[in-house]
Amino acid sequence: MLINNINYRTVWMQDTSVYMINQQLLPHKFEIYRSENYIETANAIKTMIIRGAPAIGAAGAYGLAQGALQFEGENFDDFKKHIGEAYEALDSARPTANDLNYALNFVKSKMISLNIADSKMRAFELAREYADWSAEVCRQIGEHGNKLIKNNQNILTHCNAGALACVDFGTALSPVRMAHYSKKNVFVYVDETRPRNQGSSLTAWELAQEKIPHSIIADNAAGHFMKNGKIDFAIVGADRIAMNGDVANKIGTYEKAVLAKENSIPFYVAAPLSTFDINSKTGDDIPIEERSEDEVLYISGIDEHNKIKKIRIAPAESTAKNPAFDVTPTRYITRIITEKGVIKPIKEEIERFVKINISK
């Protein structure tokens, strides 16, 4: 992604350290966070220093490589136990996004088929292979999605499914980027996306860096703009997709999908095939992460002294409920944009495409 006219990836590895753009500080401060071991990488995923399903998948892959590289010993059973402990620490950091588990299995399955020396030698290579694959997948999603976007269209997004949520390009923002690069005139309505404000903090920041025209809107304003004909196209990412086409994504996605259907606006989901969970028959099988109530009760911002501060916006006596995701039923989804093409959100077509992905 382009940041201050320099190309960055969201996450990468050098020696035994994992580096990632610290998303807790954006848009007010651009800083690279360094994780020195898999425990710190798992914590970075858990605390949302890095977030977004493909991004945490790549971070998990690098974290497992850290676990292998930092193992000391010669007993293979001890090595497998150590890798298993690293796997569990990373996999449990965020329970809803399927890409994390997918990435960990990709690296682990290849490492434990080797001896200790070869595993350590190939650990970084395997993790980088996954990250490179993930970036290319997102580029392909952009190419397929761009074909759906017409010139002079207004596009609604929710949360952040841009390059920051991936290794590069993004999922939902990848078609928008490609449309912009191909000289189409597009305008993006950016949902602020409470409670963590990933839309106003991250999506808007990415669009500003790329000089893509946009405006931030309050979450509650999306229906107003839809009803008044200001939005032509809605696109979101996904954290996990069930085999019937139900989609788990950032809380509030379901509301936007219902509003889009009511106003005859196409509602697209952009996600790699790795986001499909073959063990989830429907959205009812997807675990929904409940995050800290502080995300609702407090808000962070920059003060007049250019310092980032966290302040309480709710009564001291109040508590909060904070589900991080909701599930959008397949009947509200127009199509799912994947690296293999644009598919209908129906069981038969999903099974055909996911089997292609598994076989390759």
The yes-or-no answer on residue 239 being catalytic is yes
Spatial CA neighbour of 265 closest among 355, 189, 183: 189
Which strand (E) or helix (H) includes residue 325? strand 325-328
Of the CA atoms within 13 Å of residue 352, those in its CB half-sphere come to 10
Catalytic site residue from 91, 99, 239, 326: 239
**Which phi and psi angles does 108 have, rounded to 5°?**
-60, -45
177, 170 Cβ separation under 8 angstroms: yes
For 24, the 3-state DSSP assignment is coil
For 18, the 3-state DSSP assignment is strand
* Strand pairing category for 214-217 and 186-191: parallel
Q: Give the E-state strand segments of the chain in sequence order.
A: 2-3, 6-7, 11-14, 17-21, 32-35, 153-157, 186-191, 214-217, 233-236, 240-241, 247-250, 267-270, 298-302, 308-312, 325-328, 335-338, 341-343
What is the residue whose two structure tokens read 């069930």? 242
CA 16, CA 66: separation in Å to the nearest integer?
6
CA 190, CA 341: separation in Å to the nearest integer?
25
- DSSP assignment of 164-192 equals GGSSSS-SSHHHHHHHHHTT--EEEEEE-
Active site residues: 239
